[in-house]
Chains A and B, each alone.
Chain A
């Protein structure tokens, strides 16, 4: 019976992997036919090969979770596809970042497996991360009203994406040990630095994940609700204090009032989504480049325009599947610390996706976060891969424990 379930898993994984590979080979082929560019044909072969390597080969060599790998690879490749459609140079950069991301993901998996206690690591991470987060304030450049980028040579780098990881690790470690101050001080420090950099979207994410992890570890409804109202109060305060927050809320409520300047982004995004209809206008057709910031924040609008609303819902469902997988892994974790860490990574991915798609659909005001895996951006892609790596690390530990338990059971003479 065991053999057949393993077989089944392998077969299901193969079906999924083949579907993904087929999708991208046909998609890149279609784009290549548009103007007979050799790069298109090359990508039509290269991308499915990369996917095959990533999904079928990798799990043989490293302890990784196939489903998460398949979904993450699909989303990354989707990002590369849309970038190739709109701006091919960015596509090549993204492919490079994807390679870096894979390596980073493996590093995270091993970090989770090897560092069991994280005692030293957590203590070191606190000052290191705070320093990293403070860098843009000192050397950074201002983009779109937020000062959260720094340039190393010609590569831009967003520290807040990486400090995300240390936030999750530090918060879950100290919460699981029931030591209040270390994580609290760290979280407050991060939030403060982010507010100074005016990166309010990331600050919101950090705050939400910390609060929810606190809720999970302590189960204290009262304090959680208190924290929630504190956050709401801070949001109102931020609205009163920052002029550009006021502007964002105003164009969220009625972007058509100022559709030439302030509301331009949302209006163009909405029109793109409406133009897509159910099945989209077709890959390579339509005008995705008229959507502002189409390569980062509004990539979802590009998806809906080119592939349609049904496909957009499918993308949403894929994120739901990732969250589901992360949550089940967290629930199966053996120690509180690993569970919190895994859940923290899942929450981070899920909430980030919700925030950006909500902004594009005009459900909530637009913030500066990107869509995990799909958006263009080295820091964003690498940190999302690292989050997936954390989840897979915990999953591999669970698997080990489970095999250990099976061994113990055999030991006792009763084989299940």
Chain B
């Protein structure tokens, strides 16, 4: 093609390319924004997305009421600061007290930070405790500083095969019927005191079939 015609053609096409470029960018950001709204909507629908269970407070402090339920994410930090994934504004709890992470098929690992005292089901854990340290499973009691927490896992998560009963006397023993010992992987859930229909989904009894295995 002769040079002049090509140069005129190309000079005209530049507006087309610029337009397409802007269009592509605009659609991309539109897509991003829409996905963000979608994620927000999902999170509202599934407020417990990403969590594996709750810690119920057995003994807390002036700022942490007994019976309060703290959602437990899959992985995070426990401490007294508000930005921690589990915030315990209780005395003897450091700003960042311990790290925890949940491993499917095993349970909730707890790794205390330097100089932080905690115990799982009565067994002391320190910074140096390695992989042999005890795990938290459904019903286990975690003591961190002056706080006492009991872990309730959600339905449908893989249940550890060897769940243990706590062996230490609790200051406030749970009332009968609220807790039952886990047997052979059959987990029962406690009844809440709130009106039915407003309970979180994990408070409903397990349907007999369907199983908990993934």
**A residues whose Cβ falls under 8 Å from a Cβ of B:** 5, 8-9, 12-13, 15-16, 19-20, 22-23, 26-27, 30, 33-36, 67, 70-71, 74, 178, 279-285, 307-308, 310-311, 314-315, 317-318, 321, 324-325, 328, 332, 334-336, 401-402, 405-409, 411-414, 416
Known: A16-B31, A308-B18. 4 other contacts (CB 8 A): A19-B24, A23-B17, A281-B11, A411-B210
Q: Nearest Cβ in chain A — how far from B98, in angstroms?
A: 11
A285 near B7 (CB under 8 angstroms)?
yes
A408 near B9 (CB under 8 angstroms)?
no
A317 near B25 (CB under 8 angstroms)?
yes
B24 near A328 (CB under 8 angstroms)?
no
**B161 contacts A by Cβ under 8 Å:** no
Q: Nearest Cβ in chain A — how far from B153, in angstroms?
A: 11
B18 near A307 (CB under 8 angstroms)?
yes
Question: In whole angstroms, what is the CA distance A408 to B48 when docked?
Answer: 10
In the complex, how many residue pairs between chain A and chain B have their CB atoms under 8 Å apart?
Answer: 150
Q: C-beta contact mask, B4-41 vs A, less than 8 Å → 1, else 0?
A: 00110111011111101111110111111011101100
Residue numbers in A under 8 Å from B201 (CB-CB): 408-409, 411-414
**B1 contacts A by Cβ under 8 Å:** yes
Question: In whole angstroms, what is the CA distance A307 to B29 when docked?
Answer: 21
Q: Which 10 A-B pairs have the closest CB atoms?
A: A412-B201, A416-B45, A282-B10, A314-B21, A405-B49, A317-B25, A321-B28, A279-B14, A23-B20, A414-B201
Answer whether A12 and B204 are a contact pair too, CB < 8 Å, given A314-B21, A335-B75. no
**B111 contacts A by Cβ under 8 Å:** yes
Q: Nearest Cβ in chain B — how far from A135, in angstroms?
A: 36
B32 near A413 (CB under 8 angstroms)?
no
Question: In whole angstroms, what is the CA distance A111 to B30 when docked?
Answer: 30
Give chain A's interface secondary structure class.
helix
B28 near A30 (CB under 8 angstroms)?
no
**B residues whose Cβ falls under 8 Å from a Cβ of A:** 1, 6-7, 9-11, 13-18, 20-25, 27-32, 34-36, 38-39, 42, 45-46, 48-50, 74-75, 99, 101, 111, 154-157, 200-204, 210
Please pick, from B16, B101, B210, the residue contacting A335 in the complex, using a CB distance under 8 A: B101
Q: Nearest Cβ in chain A — how far from B96, in angstroms?
A: 9
Give chain B's interface secondary structure class.
helix
Q: Nearest Cβ in chain A — how far from B199, in angstroms?
A: 9
Residue numbers in B under 8 Å from A328 (CB-CB): 32, 35-36, 39
Residue numbers in B under 8 Å from A19 (CB-CB): 20, 23-24, 27
Residue numbers in B under 8 Å from A34 (CB-CB): 1, 6
Answer whether A67 and B32 are a contact pair too, CB < 8 Å, given A178-B111, A334-B74, A416-B45. yes
Residue numbers in B under 8 Å from A405 (CB-CB): 46, 48-50
Sample (26) of A-B pairs whose CB atoms are under 8 Å apart: A12-B27, A13-B31, A19-B23, A26-B17, A281-B11, A282-B10, A283-B14, A285-B6, A285-B7, A307-B18, A310-B18, A310-B22, A314-B21, A314-B25, A317-B28, A317-B29, A318-B25, A328-B39, A334-B50, A334-B75, A335-B101, A405-B49, A405-B50, A408-B201, A409-B201, A412-B203
A33 near B1 (CB under 8 angstroms)?
yes
B9 near A33 (CB under 8 angstroms)?
yes
B13 near A282 (CB under 8 angstroms)?
yes
Q: Nearest Cβ in chain B — how far from A360, in angstroms?
A: 18
A282 near B155 (CB under 8 angstroms)?
no
Residue numbers in B under 8 Å from A178 (CB-CB): 99, 111
User: Chain B: which residue is nearest A303 at the CB level?
Assistant: B21
Answer whether A308 and B50 are a contact pair too, CB < 8 Å, given A8-B34, A328-B35, A332-B39. no
A36 near B1 (CB under 8 angstroms)?
yes
Please pick, from A308, A321, A401, A408, the residue contacting B32 in the complex, using a CB distance under 8 A: A321
A310 near B156 (CB under 8 angstroms)?
no
Q: Nearest Cβ in chain B — how far from A31, in angstroms?
A: 9
Residue numbers in B under 8 Å from A26 (CB-CB): 13, 16-17
B204 near A413 (CB under 8 angstroms)?
yes
Residue numbers in B under 8 Å from A334 (CB-CB): 50, 74-75
A412 near B24 (CB under 8 angstroms)?
no
Question: In whole angstroms, what is the CA distance A12 to B26 when docked?
Answer: 11
Q: Nearest Cβ in chain B — how far from A416, in angstroms?
A: 3
User: Chain B: which residue is nearest A29 at the CB level?
Assistant: B13
Question: In whole angstroms, what is the CA distance A281 to B17 when docked?
Answer: 12
Please pick, from B14, B42, B210, the residue contacting A307 in the complex, using a CB distance under 8 A: B14
A402 near B6 (CB under 8 angstroms)?
no
Residue numbers in A under 8 Å from B210 (CB-CB): 411
A407 near B156 (CB under 8 angstroms)?
yes
Q: Nearest Cβ in chain A — how far from B45, in angstroms?
A: 3
Residue numbers in A under 8 Å from B32 (CB-CB): 67, 321, 324-325, 328
Most buried by B among A16, A22, A26, A27: A16
Please pick, from B24, B38, B101, B203, the residue contacting A23 in the complex, using a CB distance under 8 A: B24
Answer whether A283 and B36 are a contact pair too, CB < 8 Å, given A317-B25, A335-B101, A408-B154. no
